């Protein structure tokens, strides 16, 4: 069972990533993400079972709709692959238990937020608050007590407050309001790796930001909005799973 668990979690992650994509597309559109069939965004054809196998369907159809041949964004298959890998790594680290369930739930919510932020450059605040609650529950279940718990809460609170102040002092130019609760939630999960996750996030954001500026024609660089939540997710996941502390250098 212990050997099978990571693979089962990886499969679950790929399936939930596909569901996260549906939620991120339908949220606040008036269209239900609970009921209704998935369909092609180009020809409106209802998708069948062979179109909905995570990762595999995208590869078999070569990233195109089986019916109209319209390209299917690679972010669908990429998100399924990434969440599958994250769920696999989480199962290896924690093993079976309530802590794993809460951590996977937090990562699923995070996936929805990331996909929504990439699409709309806005963080849905109800999902951000739900992520904080789930992350807090995970922190308590992992057995943090006394000074360790107080330290994690203070660090997470300081990081969240820092993001809020960057938003408030810049009138939203430096940082979005929704980035603060996401940073707070991820800091609760990361614990002692919170500062490392924060540093990694800004490093990744800086590299990708420079890359975007280089590829963007000079006359079109004004007004470019780059969502920061994906960088937060990458940075904190890197710190959480590697436990590498760059401050030691």
- Put simply, whether the predicted model's pTM sits higher than 0.75 gets the answer yes
Token pair for residue 43? Answer: 């020809």
Computed over every residue of the chain, the mean pLDDT equals: 85
Question: pLDDT (tens digit, 9 = 90+) per residue, 175-195?
Answer: 888 899 999 999 999 998 999
Helices (H), 170-193: 179-190
Q: Identify whether residues 112 and 15 lie together within a single domain.
A: no
Q: Is the dihedral of CA 234, 55, 69, 66 positive or negative?
A: negative
Residues 110 and 68 in one domain: no
Average pLDDT of span 73-97: 91
- Separation CA 98–CA 141 (nearest Å): 7
Residues 19 and 42 in one domain: yes
Measured CA to CA, the distance from residue 140 to residue 144 in angstroms comes to 6
Which of 188, 86, 195 is CA-nearest to residue 131? Answer: 188
Residue 88 in this model has a pLDDT that exceeds 70: yes
Q: Domain check: are 88 and 142 in the same one?
A: no
pLDDT of residue 181: 95
Tell me the residue range of the domain where 181 lies: 99-249
Q: How many residues does the chain have?
A: 249
* Higher-pLDDT residue of 225, 179: 179
- Residue 37 above 70 pLDDT? no
Q: How many domains does the chain have?
A: 2
Claim to verify: residue 109 and residue 70 sit in the same structural domain: no
Give the pLDDT score at 220: 53
The mean pLDDT of 17-35, rounded to a whole number, is: 80
8 Å CB contact between 105 and 134: yes
Instruction: With cut-offs at 50, 70 and 90, classify the pLDDT of residue 22.
Output: confident
């Amino acid at each position: 069972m212990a050997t099978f668990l990571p693979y089962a979690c990886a499969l679950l992650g790929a399936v939930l990533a596909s569901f996260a994509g549906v939620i991120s597309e339908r949220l606040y559109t008036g269209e239900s993400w609970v009921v209704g069939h998935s369909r092609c965004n180009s020809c409106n054809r209802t998708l069948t079972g062979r179109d909905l196998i995570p990762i595999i369907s995208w590869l078999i159809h070569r990233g195109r709709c089986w019916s109209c041949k319209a390209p299917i964004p690679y972010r669908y298959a990429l998100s399924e692959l990434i969440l599958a890998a994250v769920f696999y790594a989480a199962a290896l680290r924690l093993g079976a238990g309530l802590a794993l369930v809460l951590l996977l739930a937090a990562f699923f919510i995070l996936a929805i937020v990331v996909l929504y932020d990439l699409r709309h450059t806005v963080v849905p605040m109800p999902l951000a608050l739900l992520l904080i609650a789930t992350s807090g529950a995970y922190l308590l279940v992992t057995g943090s007590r006394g000074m360790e718990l107080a330290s994690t809460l203070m660090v997470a609170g300081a990081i969240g407050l820092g993001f809020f102040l960057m938003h408030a002092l810049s009138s939203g130019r430096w940082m979005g309001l929704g980035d603060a609760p996401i940073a707070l939630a991820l800091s609760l999960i990361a614990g002692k790796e919170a500062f490392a996750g924060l540093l990694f996030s800004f490093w990744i954001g800086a590299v990708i930001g420079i890359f975007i500026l280089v590829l963007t024609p000079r006359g079109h660089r004004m007004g470019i909005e780059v969502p920061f939540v994906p960088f937060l997710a990458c940075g904190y996941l890197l710190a959480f799973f590697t436990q590498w502390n760059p401050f030691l250098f």
